[in-house]
Structure 1
Amino acid sequence: MSSKVILGYWNIRANGEPIRLMLNYLGVDYTEVNYYKTDDKSDWLAVKESVGIPFPNLPYLIDEDVKLTESYAIMRHLARKHGKLYPETDTENRFCDQLQGIIYDFRSTYTKTLYDRDTHDESKAQFLAEFPGKMSKFEKHLSSRKWLAGNRLMYVDFMFAEFLSCLQLWLPSCLEPFPIASQYLKTFDSLEPIASYRSTKRFRQLPILRKVAVFGGQFE
């Protein structure tokens, strides 16, 4: 019998939640090791060099003899291993590579804004000014396909849908001008494994980010 998969991450959504969504969608039996029980991260730092991973970081995944860090590397591994959510052609592969970079950059501006306590008003104003243009590109892109990379759900959708979900908690009406993206998110949220996972105590709507964030750092 194979051993249970282990996911290690802070006890927040952030970069860990897309992986949790994938694990639940794929029906993977996994256990989670949560860190950040202390503000100084000492619970993670105390074990960081002893978890047996070549480049220890969070999130990490231990899947039998596979030990990985970096969110997208973990997601691509899960998609490949389970034969779902992974590109089938070189064209799809290149497209997903491009999309993951675009999503990462888009999401980074959001997290940077929420962690910017010193000049938050200015950062938020800049984010809001740039948001319609960035989101319009996704709106146009999704007008001709069901999912980001085509008509098949792939690993990049889990990162993008999670980003939109968290974004709506901060800016509840942000997707109203983008009906196609709104429907995309509703379709993702209604996937049975996703809806089932979110109905359990395992799912936490908050916190999204660490406690120092202007928004999303509070616990439910």
Structure 2
Amino acid sequence: MAMKLAYWDIRGLAQPIRLLLEYTGTKYEEKFYSCGDAPNYDKSCWFNEKEKLGMDFPNLPYLEDGDTKVVQSNAILRYIARKHNLCGETEEEQMRVDILENQAMDFRNGFVQLCYGDFDKSKSCYTDKLPGTLKQFSDFLGDRKWFAGDKITFVDFIMYELLDQHRMFDPACLDDYKNLRCFLDRFESLEKIAEYMKSNKFMKTPVNSKMAKWGNKKDLKKMAEYMKSGKFMKTPVNNKMAKWGNKKE
């Protein structure tokens, strides 16, 4: 039976989980909730059913694996990772995983506060502090292949997402951190990750929900490329018996 991952129709907290599910070859399906438009940003699609799901702490994202229901993004990541020995093997690796799991959440929370808060007022302060934050992660990675050591762990999926979001936010922010750039390249070169990123399942945007000040819009580049490709059907709009739109352009 396939697992079910449920979340808003954005990258957000679910993207590292999606990446981990793909990397481990786990069969899963997704349930997307959609936030309404401004000014109310209606979330009733979620609130109307959250208490009916039989969860101790109903929240998004959640994962269903048969009768097992897991909430909290890091708990979900650990649940999947334990099945595939991706939580670190040695005491040192496990310690590094524990440290980075929490440090990464602090990093993410700061970025979320910027994106959903007073973006224009806070952006300059955030970008001023960003190099120092990135240097800490760069130093922690050092010359290791992955953040815990030689073997990939679930925290690498968290860090990939955070670093990728930040290079979308500021394309030059990683220029001084070669090992972080190499980490991103190495991650994207993983066979199953590379296949996923080329597929229609992969969500490039939006990063955040509609009420965010940054990362709240879908990238229309792929749509434009599709419309220019030989796959896009401009006409006919209707069948041959129609009085209008029945001819190929």
Q: TM-score band, normalised by the shorter chain? A: over 0.9
Give 2:87's aligned residue: 86
User: What's the secondary structure of 1:15's corresponding residue?
Assistant: helix
1:47 CA displacement:
1.1
Using the TM superposition, give the Cα deviation of residue 9 of structure 1 relative to its aligned residue in structure 2, in angstroms: 0.4
Structure 1 runs (4+) deviating above 4 angstroms are: none
When the two chains are superposed, the root-mean-square deviation of aligned CA atoms in Å is 1.2
Kept in 1: contact 2:100–2:155 (CA 8 A): yes
Q: What fraction of aligned residue pairs are identical, expressed as a percent?
A: 38
Q: Specify the code of the residue in structure 2 equivalent to 1:208.
A: V
SS of residue in 1 equivalent to 2:209? coil
**Code of the aligned partner of 1:64:** G
Query: Any unmatched runs of 5+ in structure 1?
Result: none
Question: Contact (CA 8 Å) 2:94, 2:148: kept in 1 or not?
Answer: no
Residues 52-131 of structure 1 correspond to what in structure 2 (within 5 A)? 52-81=54-83, 83-116=84-117, 119-131=118-130
TM-score (norm 2): 0.83
Match of 1:18 in 2: 16
| Aligned residue runs from structure 1 range 62-211, under 5 A | 62-81=64-83, 83-116=84-117, 119-211=118-210
2-structure distance, mates of 1:90, 1:133: 28
Shift of 1:195: 1.1
Q: Which amino acid aligns with 2:75?
A: A
How many residues were matched structurally?
215
Is contact 2:35–2:210 with CA below 8 Å preserved after alignment?
A: no
2:6, 2:63 within 8 Å by CA — same for their partners in 1? yes
2:177, 2:207 → 1: CA distance? 23
Q: Indicate if the aligned counterparts of 2:87 and 2:153 stay in contact, CA closer than 8 A.
A: yes
- Kept in 1, the 8 Å contact 2:17–2:77? The answer is yes
Q: Which has the larger radius of gyration?
A: 2
SS in 1 for 2:76: helix
Query: Structure 1-normalised TM-score?
Result: 0.93
Q: Which runs of 5+ in 2 are unaligned?
A: 220-249
Residue 26 of structure 2 aligns to which amino acid in structure 1? V
